[in-house]
Structure 1
Amino acid sequence: MRVRYKFWLEDGEHIFGEGLFELLQEIDRRGSINQAARSLNMSYRQAWGQVKKAEGRLGERLLSTRVGGETGGGAELTPAGRWFLQRYKQFRRDAGEAIEAAFQRHFG
C-alpha cells in the first residue's frame, strides 16, 4: 500500500500546480514555449494560456519571450519565474516527505 497526493496553490482559483510546474521546467530546459508544449502533448495556445493566467494571479511575469525571426524566437524564465519554480519544487519535496513520514507512522 502507498499514499498518493497532489499539490496546487490557489487563492480561490487555481494558480499553480503540477501542470504549470512541468511546463515551466520544460520551457527552462528547451528555451521555447512551443517545444515545451509539444513535449507535454499540449498546444502552444494552451501552454501560453496557463502561463498568462498564472502571471495574472501572481502579479509577476514568469517568462521573458523573444519574437521569432532569422535566429528564431524563444522564451526563458524571468528571475521571478525561476524563484517561483524553485520554491514550488522545494515545497513539493518538503510536503511529500512529511506526507510519506505520516503515512509510515500510521500505516507502516
Structure 2
Amino acid sequence: MDQLAPRMRVKIWLEEDENMIFGPGCAMLLREIERCGSLAGAVKGLKMSYRAAWGHIKKVEDNLGVNLVEKQGGNKSGYSLSEQGQTLLEAYEAWYTAVEETSLKLAQQYFPWPVKR
C-alpha cells in the first residue's frame, strides 16, 4: 500500500433540474473557440463534430438564457465569446481551480499516499 501514488481527479458542473448549466465540456469548447477564433477550428482541436459542438453551445445558451458566442462578420469570419460567455468561462475556471486545490489539500491530509494533481 505504501507504493501507491494516486492522482486526484475532480469533475464539477452546474445543473438545474437535470439541465446542464455549465461544465468542463462547455468550458473546454469555449476556451478553444477563443483560442481559434472559430467553431470549426475549435472542433478540430477537440476532435468533435461541428454539429455536436454547436448543439451543446445552443443547449447551454437556452438553459442560461444568454449567448455564449457571437458571430464575427460574415459566414467565414468565425466566432468570439460574448461578454457573458467570457465572464462565465472565467468564473467556471476560477471555481474549478479553487475546488481542485482544496480537494488536493484534503486528499493529501486524509490519505496515507502522496496524492498528486
Is TM more than 0.5 here?
A: yes
State the AA in 2 paired with 1:85: L
State the AA in 2 paired with 1:86: E
By percentage of residues, which structure has more helix? 1
> In the alignment, what sits opposite 2:115?
none
The alpha-carbon deviation at position 48 of structure 1 amounts to 0.6
State the AA in 2 paired with 1:61: N
Q: Select which of 71, 81, 88 maps to 1:84.
A: 88
Structure 1 counterpart SS, 2:58 = helix
Extract unaligned runs of 5+ from structure 2: 1-5, 113-117
- Aligned pairs (5 A) from 1:13-92: 13-66=19-72, 67-68=74-75, 72-92=76-96
Distance in structure 2 (CA, Å) of the matches to 1:22 and 1:65? 19
Extract unaligned runs of 5+ from structure 1: none
> In the alignment, what sits opposite 2:14?
9
TM-score (norm 2): 0.84
Q: Select which of 99, 104, 107 maps to 1:103.
A: 107
State the AA in 1 paired with 2:78: G
| Root mean square deviation, CA, Å | 1.2
State the AA in 2 paired with 1:11: E
The alpha-carbon deviation at position 104 of structure 1 amounts to 1.1
State the AA in 2 paired with 1:10: E
Bigger relative CO (Cα 8 Å, ≥ 6 apart) = 2
Identity %: 38
The alpha-carbon deviation at position 42 of structure 1 amounts to 0.7
TM-score (norm 1): 0.91
